[in-house]
Amino acid sequence: MDKQTGFMKALKCRECGREYPLAATHVCEFDFGPLEVAYDYDRIKQSLTKKAIESRGKNMWRYRELLPIAGEPTVGCEVGFTPLIKADRLAKRLGIRELWIKNDTVNYPTLSFKDRVVSVALSRAKELGFTTVACASTGNLANSVAANAAAAGLKAYVFIPSDLEQGKILNSLVYGANVVGIKGHYDEVNRLCAEIAGKYGWAFVNVNMRPYYAEGSKSMGFEIIEQLGWKIPQHTVVPMASGSLLTKIQKSYQEFVKLGLVQQSRYSVHGAQATGCSPISVAQKAGLDFFKPVKPNTIAKSLAIGTPADGFYALKVMKETGGAADDVTDDEIRDGIKMLAECEGIFAETAGGVTVAVAKKLVATGKIPAMDSAVLCITGNGLKTLESVAGHVGQAREIRPSLREFESLLEAENKSTVTA
């Protein structure tokens, strides 16, 4: 392994293929296209075997050769390897033969898949000599940057829409990060951050560190394959905000095939959005390869990106893999959250409700055949978005500490069950 570059070769424009040094930069100066990390797969193949992977710690860094840092990870060393749960009860509710939940609601340390991207971005930021890190976020990314920066002794600035859920705001503040609430939606936060990013010499994880950051998402796909017993799932349903996670899930499957770690098989990657912010889903359903930006209005705030940067590529991946997209209303999102909680004991945030509800639609419409097997990527924890379900999941019944009151409560309940 090269000490300066690890298994990376260069940054490469996804549009024109021009190469750039492995610095903190994200845009091709020729066509403004996004830059991506290019790897030396020949050397990776010699190092990353099934045996090597299985001998390593149960975290995302067991696939270290395919993650873009030069040396060993220094931030987020315990992130990842979250449970893959066989969800028989939910499978029955959705009407599908076999269903799995990739449960990133319990990712370490901030309970969302964003810990994966942040551990890569901050480890690389330290390698490049940065001492201040920052991000534009719909909440989960901010939480993860704040926590991981604190643990790594880095200074953090996080920029969020000011109307986020309380849980997401407090979850950034508690780590001592500088939290800046912007009066506007995420796309406006993004625009401001693009302008700020180059100005202060900070590592902006989703701006100038984006090529490294985005690669962290692949670890979710690597884990799915390994946890399924080295198999690619027939169907994977992924929530879409910018569309980045969906493209990286496919990339993870392709890379494992390329390295001979898994057999090539037919698979489809499907995308899930909220109807109140569904530019990618609307384009996919209309058969378009471009999307029209929208102004978001949905309870799924973590997915509320009206101008999705990776929308074009997400549409391409769905087309290439025979995947479909769909979108669901706020009520369907809450139903999705409840179904997952009641069937599998997993409390997901709104994005998880979107994924479950869209999966239900895709099975009902035959876009995911009922006899197939699917994995749902559940990316964040419900404790962070309590407002979205408050008042929709019933209420605790209050009694005095009296046996008689409890017994009459039970009696009333039994009666109502009988009459119902």
Partner 1 sequence: MRIKVRTQEPLRKLLDNEQVVEVSGTTVFEVIKTLQVRYPRFVERLLESDGSVRRFVNVYVNEEDIRFLQNQQTALRDGDEVRIISAIAGG
| Position among 216, 221, 276, 308 found at the interface with partner 1 (CB under 8 A) | 308
CA angle 135, 136, 140 (to 5 degrees): 85
Binding partner 1 by CB under 8 A: which of 99, 101, 149, 193? 193
Length of the chain: 420
* Host H or E run for residue 249: helix 244-258
Minimum distance, C-beta of residue 302 to partner 1, in the bound complex (Å): 7
Do residues 235 and 375 touch, judged by C-beta distance below 8 A? Answer: yes
- CA nearest neighbour of 35 among 216, 247, 212, 254: 212
**Torsion angle, CA of 222/224/228/231, rounded to 10 degrees?**
-50
Given a contact cutoff of 8 angstroms between Cβ atoms, the answer to whether 359 and 314 are in contact is: no
Stretch that binds partner 1, among 68-76, 170-178, 237-245, 318-326 (CB under 8 A): 237-245
Question: Toward partner 1, which CB reaches closer, 268 or 355?
Answer: 355
The 1-20 site mask, x for binding partner 1 (CB under 8 A), equals --------------x-----
Q: Which is nearer to partner 1, 268 or 350 (CB)?
A: 350
133-162 mask for partner 1 (x: CB under 8 A)? ---xxx-xx---------------------
CB of 303 to partner 1, least distance (A): 7
Q: Nearer Cβ to partner 1, position 262 or 303?
A: 303
Q: Is 183 in the site for partner 1 (CB under 8 A)?
A: no
> Would you count residue 119 as binding partner 1 (CB under 8 A)?
no
**Which position has the token pair 């994977």?**
236
In whole angstroms, give the CA distance from residue 159 to residue 142: 7
Is residue 98 classed as helix, strand or coil in its secondary structure? strand
Q: Is 26 in the site for partner 1 (CB under 8 A)?
A: yes
In this structure, the strands spanning 325-328 and 98-103 are unpaired
Point out which residues bind partner 1 (CB under 8 A): 15, 25-27, 29-34, 136-138, 140-141, 184, 186-188, 190-191, 193-195, 197-199, 206-208, 210, 213-214, 241-242, 244, 290, 292-293, 295, 302-305, 307-310, 312
